[in-house]
Chains A and B, each alone.
Chain A
Amino acid sequence: MEVKKGLLYTKDHEWVQELSDTIVRIGITDFAQDQLGDVVYVELPEKGMEVSKGEPFTVVESVKAASDVFSPVSGTITDVNEQLEDSPELLNELPYSEGWIIEVEIDEFSLLKLMSAEEYENYLKEV
């Protein structure tokens, strides 16, 4: 299971990439996509929507089930990955790059309490 260096992680298996001081990109981890199985639909949120840390912001559906994805940060969605509309399988194939889900302009202190890649790797050993 790949854990990409340089990203921040949550216990719910989402990743956060800092694009600038205020903008982050969010997706699900390799572990999460493997647990889900074949992703066939992503219910994308809309730009401008507010997200709150720990609250679901989208639903990812695999053949077998629908799963909430929880926001690792609080803020406002500035971009969504429209490619997922027609190619939801990107979440399985390239979870850390082409399979990103949203970009968010984050509130202050939003990145506190997220795990580093090393911490997430250790966390995966426990689950």
Chain B
Amino acid sequence: MSMHTPLYKKHLDLGAKMIEFFGYEMPLQYSGIMTEHKCVRSLAGVFDLSHMGEILIGGEGASKFLNYMTTNNVKNLKTGKVQYNLLTNESGGIIDDILIYRLPEAYYLVVNAANKDKDYQWLLEHVTDNAYVKDLSGETALIAVQGPYALKVTEKVLGQSVGHIKYYNFADVNYRGEKIRVSRTGYTGEDGFEIYHSPQLAGVLWDDIFAAGEPDQIKPIGLGARDTLRLEMRMPLYGNELTEETTPIQAGLSRVIDFEKGDFIGREHILKAKEAGTKQRLVGFELMEKGISRHGYEITDQKKKIGYVTSGSISPSTGKSIGLGYVNNEYAKTGAVIYIQIRKKQIPAKIVKGRFVEISRKTK
């Protein structure tokens, strides 16, 4: 049986092509991945992300408990701010990559749809007496507005200024009699907001956003373009780049590990991986000939397997064929040429540094 978000009917009415996504029937695309992708980069797009999970962690022991469960330090997080963080297991493998919102009295975790039950159970198993864990996913809907016109459209919808909310900050604001959470975050590289609210409000908010954004020709965006948008920005996707078998070190996420904060689950293994070095590292690459790399394809040096592709696509912004993958350390150098096994051919690819597309998070 598949689950539906409160906006399911809206997607069908818009003629979306629906796919099964970790138990949810979600829109893959409406007008087409290319069109939607370019719309977010040049104007703005609207995403239904209500399938994602929200978990509240409170109690006087909350920060100590969370610091033991995650790699980053939540004690550094001030009220009103958002932090990118990781849940790891005993062997240092990544259970999930999450956002943590610091509320005055608690922490609000936003987790991947694919992992929400697993995360919730994992937190419940470890929760201390002086902390509590509450799953809010069922009472939370999430709509994201992303792109150069996101600020303008969001302010028009909410009838108030939100430009003062800085990147990776949030504010709770009143909208149609309800307190909603407006967060300046996203998964596209563009400026924009993620808006948390009750399922009852989702339909109205969705309609308000399209009414406000109509002059700027904003469009609904499906999971297809969500994936190409994040890939161009080289943002990792759980299940592709991040798994329980990969450590944050391999995945290049050292910046979200605080070894000084005290013990946390997996610390020993992650520290060892950092000190001893890992066998493979995550790299970005551009194909030098025609073809498209896909999740799971082998990477070779023309003789033997040296890694595997975790994500690959055409970049809708540049037309280049781009991808991410793990390769053996000795090959993980910018400018090095590796080969992607695409069916019977080995297509050369160049390892590149940084984002695949430069954007300026411009706001119109």
Q: How far is B228's CA from A59's CA once the two chains are assembled, in angstroms? A: 21
| Complex CA distance for A85 and B289, rounded to whole angstroms | 12
Taking the complex as formed, is B327 at the interface, i.e. its CB lies under 8 A from any CB of chain A? Answer: no
Q: Tell me whether A37 and B292 are in contact (CB under 8 A).
A: no
State whether A66 touches B17 (Cβ < 8 A): no
* Chain A proximity of B48: nearest CB distance (Å): 18
Given contact pairs A61-B292, A63-B228, A64-B28, A37 touches B343 in the complex (Cβ within 8 A): no
Interface residue? B29 (CB, 8 A): yes
B11 contacts partner chain A, Cβ-Cβ < 8 Å: no
CB <8 Å contact, A63 and B343: no
Residues on the A chain within 8 Å of B228, using CB: 63
Chain B residues contacting A43 (CB-CB under 8 Å) are 291, 343
Contacts of A41 in B (CB 8 A): 290-292, 314, 321
Q: How long is the Cα–Cα vector from A40 to B228 in the complex, in angstroms?
A: 13
Q: A37: which of B32, B290, B291, B294 is its contact (CB, 8 Å)?
A: B32
Interface SS, B side: mixed
Minimum CB–CB distance for B29 against chain A, Å: 6
The answer to whether A38 touches B28, judged by C-beta atoms less than 8 angstroms apart, is: no
Are B33 and A38 interface neighbours, CB within 8 A? yes
A19 and B312 CA atoms in complex are apart in Å by 39
The reply to whether A63 and B314 contact each other, CB–CB distance below 8 Å, is yes
- What 1/0 mask marks residues of chain A from 57 to 99 whose CB sits below 8 Å from any chain B CB? 0010111111000000000000000000100000000000000
Task: List the A side residues contacting B314 at CB < 8 Å.
Answer: 40-41, 63
1/0 contact trace for B262-303 toward A, CB 8 Å?
Answer: 000000000000000000000000000011101000000000
- Across the interface, name the chain A residue whose C-beta is closest to B292: A61
Within 8 A of B (CB), among A5-46: 37-38, 40-41, 43
List the A side residues contacting B291 at CB < 8 Å. Answer: 41, 43
Is there an interface contact between B313 and A63, defined as CB atoms closer than 8 Å?
yes
B86 to chain A: closest CB distance in Å?
Answer: 27
B343 pairs with A64, CB closer than 8 A: no
**Assuming A59-B343, A63-B228, is B292 touching A38 (CB within 8 A)?**
no
Q: Contact check, A66 vs B33: say whether CB atoms are below 8 A apart.
A: no
CA distance A64 to B343 in the complex (A): 17
Taking a contact as CB atoms under 8 Å apart, the answer to whether B33 and A64 are in contact is yes
For window 304-349 of B, CB contacts with A under 8 Å fall at 313-314, 316, 321, 343
Give CA–CA (A64, B314) in the complex, Å: 9
Are B224's CB and A66's CB within 8 A? no
Q: Is the CB of A63 within 8 A of B34?
A: yes
Interface residues of B in 12-66 (CB under 8 A from A): 17, 28-29, 32-34
A63 lies within 8 A of B316 (CB): yes
Shortest A71–chain B CB gap in Å is 16
Within 8 A of B (CB), among A85-124: 85
Using known A-B contacts A63-B316, A64-B28, A64-B224, determine if residue A38 contacts B34 with beta carbons closer than 8 Å: yes
Q: Are A63 and B33 in contact, with the CB atoms below 8 A? A: yes
Residues of chain A lying within 8 A (CB to CB) of residue B224: 37, 63-64
Expressed in whole angstroms, the minimum distance between the Cβ of B226 and any Cβ of chain A is 11
Give Cα A39–Cα B64 distance, bound, in whole angstroms. 50
Complex CA–CA separation, A59 to B292 (angstroms)? 11
User: A61–B294 Cα gap in the complex (Å)?
Assistant: 10
Interface pairs A-B: 3 shortest CB-CB: A63-B33, A40-B314, A38-B34
**13 A-B pairs in the complex with CB atoms less than 8 angstroms apart:** A37-B28, A37-B33, A38-B33, A41-B291, A43-B291, A63-B33, A63-B34, A63-B224, A63-B228, A63-B314, A64-B33, A65-B294, A66-B294
* Given A59-B343, A64-B224, 13 extra CB contacts under 8 A: A37-B224, A40-B34, A40-B292, A41-B291, A41-B314, A43-B343, A63-B224, A63-B228, A63-B314, A64-B33, A64-B227, A64-B313, A85-B290
